[in-house]
Amino acid sequence: MKAFVFLALTFGLTSAFASPFTNTDSLKNSLGFTPYYSSQNPGRKLKVAVLDKGFFGYEKEIGRTLPAGTRYVAGPVANPENLKVVHGLKMAQILTAMMTNDLRASQWMPELTLYNAFGYSNFKAAIDDVIARQYDLVLYSEVWEYGGNGDGGGFINAEVNRATRAGVIWVNAAGNFALTTYNGPLTTVQDNWVLLPDQNNALALRCQAAAGKKCSAKIVLSWNDFKDDVEEGTTKDLDLALTDDMLNVIQNSALKQSDNRNEGRPGFSKYPREIISAELSPGLYFLRVKNRSNNFTNRDQLRITADGDGLVMPSHSRGESILNPADNPTVITVGASDSDRSSTSFFKDKPDLLAPSSIKLSDGTEYRGSSNSAAIVAAGLGILKSREPRMTRKDLLDAVSSKHNWEQRGLSLNLLGFGPTGPNCFVDVAFNPIPEQIRDVVARGGVPVQTTAAIRVMVAFDPILLVPGLNRQLLNDMIVALPQGGYGIFNRRAMIPPGAVEVFQRPLEAGLCRPTPVNGKNFRL
C-alpha cells in the first residue's frame, strides 16, 4: 500500500483557521471554487470519509484546520507504534481548505470522519462502517502495489465495490508510479529465469541519490492471480532477486505460494507477490525473477513497481501504471496534471479527471502528486453533491470535466511559423520542477513540447480562453505565458520578453508523438 505525497510533519500555525498551505487561494480561483463560498447551499451537510494509513497530529488540528466535529476511527488493528504518518491528515486539511474556504464557508462544512486504513483489516472495517453509516463520499489517496490484477478486480477492489454499490462516491488518487512500473508477459527462459527487457534477463533499476545519500527502495513483484476472495490463495510461484551491476544478489524475496485458506506458516504466502525493501547507494542495479512453479500460461502477466526518491527505471511501461483500486471502473480516479510521475492507463482510460497538485508550505517547500489532486477534486465534488445529493458518479464527472478535446485542431503550421521536431509530431519535454511561468497552463492540461523554434506549450483548446476579455488582432497572434505571471498577446512577428513561452493549440497537421492525453478530463467547477 502506498501513499503518494508525504508532507512536512509540522506547520507554524499561530491562529485558528490558519491554513498550512500558501497557494490554496490561487487554486480556489483558478479551479472555480471561489463563487461557491458566497452562495447558499440548497442541499444538506455531506458525510465525508477520508481513509488513509496515518493521521498523526490530527487532534491539534480539529477546529483549526479540520471541522470542529471531526471524528477519528482507529480500526480493529493497532498501527505500529513508530508509524507517525501525516499523509492522511494533510489530505483531510486540503479537502477542508478547498471545500470550506478554510472553514469560513460554513454552509459547505462536511461531517468529516478520519478512518485509519493501515492494512487490509482496517481497510475493510472502514468500508464496513462507511456503508453502515451511509457516507456520501470517500477520499482514498492511496493505491496498493498488490491485491489486484490490473483489470479492476482482486480483493481490494472487491471491498471498494461494496462501497460504490451502496452509493458512495469514491475518489481515488491515480498513484505516482508512471516512471517506475514495468508490466510484461510471463515468459520463462533458460534456468527458469523470467524474460525481462534489460540485459541478463533482468530489469534495470538505477539509484540517482544525491552525494552521500541513499535511495530507500520498496520493490514489489506481483502477478495476475489475485482473487476477489481475500482468503483464496495461489500455487503459482515466482521469486524476486535484487542484484548489483555484477549480478551479485543483494537481497531476495522467495516466499512459497500456497492455496491453503488457513496458510500461516513462516516463509509461505497465499498471495502472488514478493516484496524487497532496501537502502541503495547510487549506482545501477538489476531485478531478476525466477519461475518456481512452472504452471503459468501465456495469458499470465507480471508487474514490478519501485517506490522511492531517486529511483529510475529505464524500461518502465509507458501508459500502463495504474494500480488498484485506482483501476476500479466504479471509482473516480484523479491524476496530477502537473506531475510526470502521475499514473495512467491507456487501456482502462484512467484517470477520470486531472487536476493540479502543487501544494506550497509557508517555508516555500512544494509538494506535488496525485494524492493532492485527489483531495482537491474530492472537495469540489463534495460541494456539488452537498448542493444536490442525488448526483451520481456520472453526473459529477459530467459537471466538472472540461469539454476540450485533443482531436480538435487549431491553425496550420504554416500560419504558426514553426514545426515539430519529431516525425510529423511534437516531442514532449519533461520538466522537474515545472517552470513557474507555465505551471498554470500545464495544470490546465498543457504539454511542454520541443518545436523548431524553442520550447512551447501545446493545449487542446484555443489559448485565448486563458486570457478573458482580450482579443487577437490577427488570426495567428501569439498567446504567451509571461515570466512575471499571467498571459499576454503578441503579434506573431514581435519579440516576446525573455523567459516568456508561447502557448498554442494543437495544429492541423501534427499532434503529440506519444499517446494523446486523456480528452476532456481537466477538473474545474
Tens-digit pLDDT profile for residues 140-199: 999 999 999 989 999 999 999 999 999 999 999 999 999 999 999 999 999 999 999 999
In a domain, 278, yes or no: yes
Mean pLDDT of 120-128: 98
Confidence at residue 518, expressed as pLDDT on a 0 to 100 scale = 64
Q: Which residue has the higher pLDDT, 29 or 377?
A: 377
| Residue 244 shares a structural domain with residue 118 | no
In a domain, 524, yes or no: no
Confidence at residue 521, expressed as pLDDT on a 0 to 100 scale = 85
Which range of 11-20, 35-44, 405-414, 470-479 scores highest in mean pLDDT? It is: 35-44
The whole-model pTM stands at: 0.83
| Host H or E run for residue 360 | strand 359-360
Of the pLDDT bands very low, low, confident and very high (cuts 50, 70, 90), residue 12 is very low
Q: Where among 266, 290, 312 does a domain terminate?
A: 312
In a domain, 86, yes or no: yes
Q: Where among 333, 366, 400 does a domain terminate?
A: 400
pLDDT digits (tens, 9 = 90+) for 340-378: 899 999 889 899 999 999 999 888 888 899 999 999 999
The conformation of residue 429, written as its DSSP 8-state character, comes to -
Give ∠ CA 186-190-194 in degrees, rounded to 5.
25
Point out the least confidently predicted range of 88-92, 206-210, 274-278, 484-488: 484-488
pLDDT digits (tens, 9 = 90+) for 275-288: 999 999 999 999 99
In a domain, 521, yes or no: no
E runs forming strands in 84-237: 111-116, 137-140, 142-143, 169-173, 181-185, 203-207, 215-223
Distance (Å, rounded) from C-alpha 404 to C-alpha 448? 17
For the CA atoms of the chain, what is the radius of gyration? 24
CA 210 to chain centre: 25
Q: Which residues of 154-167 are buried (b: 16+ CB within 10 A; e: fewer)?
A: bbbbbbbbebbeee
Q: Where among 364, 379, 400 does a domain terminate?
A: 400
- Give the neighbor-by-neighbor strand order of the sheet with 353-355: 71-73, 111-116, 47-52, 137-140, 169-173, 332-336, 353-355
Give ∠ CA 174-23-337 in degrees, rounded to 5.
30
The conformation of residue 314, written as its DSSP 8-state character, comes to T
| Residue 211 shares a structural domain with residue 85 | no
- With contact defined as beta carbons under 8 Å apart, do 252 and 244 qualify? no
Range of the domain at 347: 2-6+19-177+321-400
In a domain, 238, yes or no: yes
In a domain, 11, yes or no: no
| Residue 159 shares a structural domain with residue 185 | no
| Residue 25 shares a structural domain with residue 165 | yes
C-beta neighbour count of 127 within 10 angstroms: 25
Let me know how long the chain is: 525
Using alpha carbons, list the distances in angstroms from residue 478 to 122, 155, 230, 467.
54, 52, 57, 12
Cross-strand bridge partners of residue 288: 241
Of the pLDDT bands very low, low, confident and very high (cuts 50, 70, 90), residue 440 is confident
User: What is the tally of structural domains in the chain?
Assistant: 3
CATH number at residue 301: 2.60.120.380
Confidence at residue 33, expressed as pLDDT on a 0 to 100 scale = 96
In a domain, 407, yes or no: no
Mean pLDDT across the chain:
92
In a domain, 13, yes or no: no
| Residue 329 shares a structural domain with residue 289 | no
pLDDT digits (tens, 9 = 90+) for 193-216: 999 999 989 999 999 999 899 999
E runs forming strands in 383-492: 427-428, 447-451, 454-459, 478-481, 487-490
CATH number at residue 332: 3.40.50.200
